Every structure is written in C-alpha cells, then in structure tokens.
Amino acid sequence: MFARDGFADARITDIADAAGTAHGSFYRYFDSKEEIFIELLRELVEELRQPVRTDAGTEPKNPYERILRANRTYLEAYRANRAIMIVWEQVASLNEHVEQLRREYSDRFAARIERAIIRWQEAGLADPAIDPRYAAAALSGMLSNFAYRWSVQDADYDLDTAAEQLSLLWANALGVRVPAHHEPAHA
C-alpha cells in the first residue's frame, strides 16, 4: 500500500484488506498507520543489510573488491525496493519517528564502513591520513544519495557501471589500490 499509494494516501482499510484481515484486527497489532510503516521499514532495513553479511571465507580479500561487492549489493537492494525507499525518504522529512529510523539506519551503515576503513588502514591498505569517521559519513551519503536520485529520476544508468564508478570513487578517496586484473564495466 505504501509503495503504491504513498504514506499519506495509504488507508488502514486498504492495508487490512491487503493483509487479508478485518479492519478491526489491525488495531490488535498496531496503534496507527505510522506504527505499521515503521515496522515495515525495520524489516526492509534487515533485508537491505542481509545480503552484505557473508561468511568470512567468501569475502573478497582485496578492499576494492569488497567495496565493489557491497556497493553493487546495496544498489541492487535499493532498486528492488525503490518505491518504498522513495516513500521512506519523503515521510522522513515530515515525521520525526521515521526520520529517527532513517538516521539510525544511516548511522549503522556509516559505522560499518568506518570499521572497514580502520581495518584497511591498520593493514596498510588505505591512506592513514583519511579520518575514518568523516570518510564513512561522506561515502555512505554519496552512495545512498546516488541510489535515491537514480530511483526518483529513473535515470538510464547501468547497474554494473554505476557500482563500478561509485566503487572507484571510494577507492580513490580512501587510497585503496584497484587490482591490476580489474576489468571495467561496459554499459
């Protein structure tokens, strides 16, 4: 309902009908439309985070390859859920609880990136002059803003090229070496 109708126009009656429950049953589980929307977003956040979690043995060893894999996965998940992601951004500007959830998600995303940057710096794989906290905030913002704008504008971008170009920007910003065997994406 939210993806189709937007938050403002989604009606509890329609939500209950889509769930196959009586209108009155809705209120046994949720106090408001806002509450079910936030629950839906929490589930979406877990879905967006899930593909990035992998077994240690399957992670690429090279930081660039890890960045590329994570950025591609993020863009794929964002695009797959673009309608609700657009609604989320719009409602966050109007609702403090939804904005708080967006901030929490953004902060967790940036914190994960910050930890990776610190590991790479400690291993001598990233520029030690880069402040991990500031870099993580800037790079995560660049990725999420690109995904949002791509979704809203429905621009004609190729997923492989987008993931590659964003990852090259990350690598250059962090001083991470791009492997010699790297094959550029072709749109």
Instruction: Please state, for a pLDDT cut of 90, what percent of the chain lies above it.
Output: 42
Please tell me the distance from the alpha carbon of residue 142 to that of residue 116, in angstroms, as a whole number: 17
Cα 17 to its chain centre, rounded Å, is 30
Largest CA distance in the chain: 62
Please tell me the distance from the alpha carbon of residue 81 to that of residue 77, in angstroms, as a whole number: 6
SS (H, E, C) the chain: CHHHHHHHHCCHHHHHHHHCCCHHHHHHHCCCHHHHHHHHHHHHHHHHHHHHCCCHHHCCCCHHHHHHHHHHHHHHHHHHCHHHHHHHHHHHCCCHHHHHHHHHHHHHHHHHHHHHHHHHHHCCCCCCCCCHHHHHHHHHHHHHHHHHHHHHHCCCCCHHHHHHHHHHHHHHHHCCCCCCCCCCCCC
| Residue 61, both tokens | 């060893």
Q: Which residue has the tokens 């079910």?
A: 36
Evaluate if residue 125 carries a pLDDT over 70: yes
Q: Residue 169's pLDDT band (boundaries 50, 70, 90)? A: very high
- Give pLDDT tens digits for 44-73: 877 776 655 554 556 667 899 999 999 999
Q: What does the pLDDT read at residue 171?
A: 98
Q: What does the pLDDT read at residue 49?
A: 67
Which residue type is seen at 165? Q
For the residues 116-141, what does the mean pLDDT come to?
A: 97
At residue 62, the 3 state secondary structure works out as: coil
Please tell me the distance from the alpha carbon of residue 109 to that of residue 140, in angstroms, as a whole number: 7
Question: If you average pLDDT over each of 4-8, 68-72, 85-89, 101-105, which comes out highest?
Answer: 68-72
Contact 38, 101 (CB under 8 A): yes
Least confident interval from 31-35, 52-56, 100-104: 52-56
Q: Residue 1's pLDDT band (boundaries 50, 70, 90)? A: low
| 139 vs 97, residue with greater confidence | 139
Evaluate if residue 28 carries a pLDDT over 70: no
The enclosing H or E element of 15 equals: helix 12-19
| 27 vs 146, residue with greater confidence | 146
Instruction: Please state, for a pLDDT cut of 70, what percent of the chain lies above it.
Output: 79
Evaluate if residue 43 carries a pLDDT over 90: no
Q: What does the pLDDT read at residue 29?
A: 67
Q: Which domains, and CATH codes, for the chain?
A: 33-174 (1.10.357.10)
The dihedral formed by the CA atoms of 66, 69, 75 and 80, expressed in degrees to the nearest 10: -140
| Residue 137, both tokens | 């905030």
